[in-house]
Structure 1
């Protein structure tokens, strides 16, 4: 009964017009009694890459959070968020992956175990082709490992949370815009604490700040971008070279990190720029909940194609194109192609 009530509550989060932080706090109230965890760490993510971009935890001390960021990018390949996502499931327990040998995980040895916890259950919140967030649920060592039914419930819950978080990223119906913004530049030291700021960096860091205060001194997204740059500087495979993050007003930013040549050991520059339409459009289309086919139709409209062009290019009947258009308009909350183009090109700006 409690599990069913939790599922109904999670469904409701997607339709409640909440912020990401509100979704996480609402989910915590619903899931804690069912999953039986003692601490949780919630994260938003770059939906395109799954890279973590923020942290929220009322249970954990985030002093030394730079170690958690480092381990996430460098150390472990056991039940990491990317590994879970690639596996085809949405939730996985560290005890199951390690066959009960939790010490095989660097994350357990360095963070989870010393904090007094035993098993960890992780979940990724995917929806409509994007990973909108993730979470790590930890339980006291004397409570034993997570059971199969708890992993299965977490998998189900993650599906609903993906939809709820996706809905948080839908751009506003109209906005005044922020005008032209230059790049914000932050120089980070080896522990990912800021050494220097330039451009509009200080103001942007405030808008992108984590819901929970950490020891980093910069938002998690900047630290992750820096660690990615350090990997690249070592010649290691780093396919996800940029990090996308959205501010509270619905505007997306792209973060690029680069190791400083001739700088101190481990110093990295992270440059944040407003996302171009090419960067932002796929995120907006996914946030609206469009299917893959509907996204193809919408992108062709943005390029100036009419119904006949779309029909020819996608090998569809004209009436099928019209059906897709009706669905796209309904999901995006617009009544015309002009409004749709304005919404996904300007991220909610007026046409």
Structure 2
């Protein structure tokens, strides 16, 4: 049995690594990886999502066996009823995986997430979660679920899911690199116009500017005016903050063309009617995204210190003095960072990390090289 389990795990790792090497868009990579995971760990429902590591908000989600109609309830429970396997908690664990039943003496139904969300709405009871980390930060998360009549998840299954973390992280990085390769295409957004939408008390858009609409389409807004997950999530975070919960109503989300956007939400001041929420959407500055990109490129903490100095305009001698290292060590760190990001000069490095909306236009070949560099690290 142990030999068969090892063979299955090795096969699964090869399959996911191959998918990662293909540089698929996140939704395609997540869907195909879920099929592999299901072969190794059978389940009735699954969620694989990119995550903003600062706010913990899901930004681009693939799911099967359940829908997105209750995302606001999910984030409310996640942020206000913490349990032992919240995503933030799992990020600090070595294996990054948690089986809910192993951490709640009263059984899964003693937790609000099962009692109020999974069981009554989706007929699910057993839950196992994992986080995907890159550069030490959570960049994605996975949730697997089984119906009440099925057996719960096991320690061996948790170990198997944990063993996929590095190849799943490679898939996240390469989907980001692939998107960056086409990010130079014109966005079709008039950035001189304010990007604002107003949500009513039921979470529906009651007003939206044309620029905001264009951004929402880039984030994957659905047919019939369905709002993308980051908008619904950040609006719910704003409502929780108004209720006194210590949550941050902002999120950084990457569009499907590789561009980073910043979303913020706040209550509409002086609104005489039912509570409404204003969401603003704007291109994220390098200040807000450089660490996310360096995480995705798996740049080490020491390399990151050198890169940030370069982005700030410092030369080799100045960097060596500030970091108390030799000029040769500065160059070694830079060469490693160049290789990981897929560039060959400081100018290209700075451009890639600070011009998210133009890297494909000015450095189209670099995006291709970057994908090949990342591919070689599998």
TM-score, normalised to structure 1, is 0.91
Aligned counterparts of 2:344 and 2:166: Cα–Cα separation in 1: 29
Tell me what 2:145 maps to: 138
Q: How does 1:63-82 map to 2 (within 5 A)?
A: 63-82=69-88
Map residues 120-199 of structure 1 onto 2, 5 A cutoff: 120-170=127-177, 171-172=180-181, 175-176=184-185, 178=187, 181=191, 182-199=193-210
Structure 1 residues without counterparts, runs of 5 or longer:
none
8 A contact 1:63–1:215 mirrored in 2:
no
- Provide, for residues 113-162 of structure 1, a one-character-per-residue CA deviation record: whole Å limited to 9, x for no partner: 12222211111111113322112111121222111011111122233212
Cα distance in 2 between the residues matched to 1:95 and 1:215: 39
Measure, in 2, the Cα distance between the counterparts of 1:81 and 1:265.
Answer: 32
| Secondary structure of 2:85 counterpart | coil
Helix, strand or coil at the partner of 2:181: coil
Q: In structure 1, what is the Cα distance between the partners aligned to 2:175 and 2:185?
A: 19
Q: 10, 21, 30: which is aligned to 1:15?
A: 21
Q: Deviation digits for residues 37-96 of structure 1, max 9, x if unmatched?
A: 111122221144332113222322434444334333334434222232244441111111
Q: Are the equivalent residues in 2 in contact too, given 1:65–1:216 (CA < 8 A)?
A: no
1:40 to 38, 41, 46: 46
Q: Alignment partner of 1:55: what SS?
A: strand
Distance in 2 between residues matched to 1:174 and 1:75, nearest whole Å: 38
CA RMSD, Structure 1 to Structure 2 (Å): 2.3
SS at match of 1:36: coil
- For structure 2, the 5+ residue unaligned runs are 1-6, 364-378
Aligned partners of 1:176 and 1:205: how far apart in 2?
A: 17
Q: Indicate if the aligned counterparts of 1:184 and 1:200 stay in contact, CA closer than 8 A.
A: yes
Match of 2:316 in 1: 307
Aligned equivalents of 1:266 and 1:303: distance in 2?
43
Q: Distance in 2 between matches of 1:48 and 1:86?
A: 14
User: For the residues of structure 2 that align with 1:260 and 1:113, how far apart are their CA atoms?
Assistant: 34
SS at match of 1:57: strand
Query: Post-superposition shift, 1:176?
Result: 4.9
Does residue 29 (structure 1) correspond to residue 35 (structure 2)? The answer is yes
Contact kept in structure 1, 2:17 and 2:167, CA below 8 Å:
yes
Is the Cα contact below 8 Å between 1:243 and 1:255 reproduced in 2? Answer: yes
Cα distance in 1 for residues equivalent to 2:61 and 2:91: 19
1:220 offset after TM fit, Å?
Answer: 0.9
Q: Where does residue 204 of structure 1 map in the other structure?
A: 215
* Shift in alpha-carbon separation, 1:299–1:52, aligned structure 2, 3 A: same
Q: Deviations over 1:96-116 (max 9, x none)?
A: 121361111111012221222
TM-score between both structures, scaled by the size of structure 2 = 0.85
Match for 2:119 among 113, 125, 132?
113
Residue matched to 1:336 = 345
Q: Which shifted more, 191-200 or 60-69? A: 60-69
Change (3 A) 1:162 1:197: same
Q: How does 1:79-98 map to 2 (within 5 A)?
A: 79-98=85-104
| Cα pair 2:264 2:280 within 8 Å, conserved | yes
Moved more, 171-180 or 329-338: 171-180
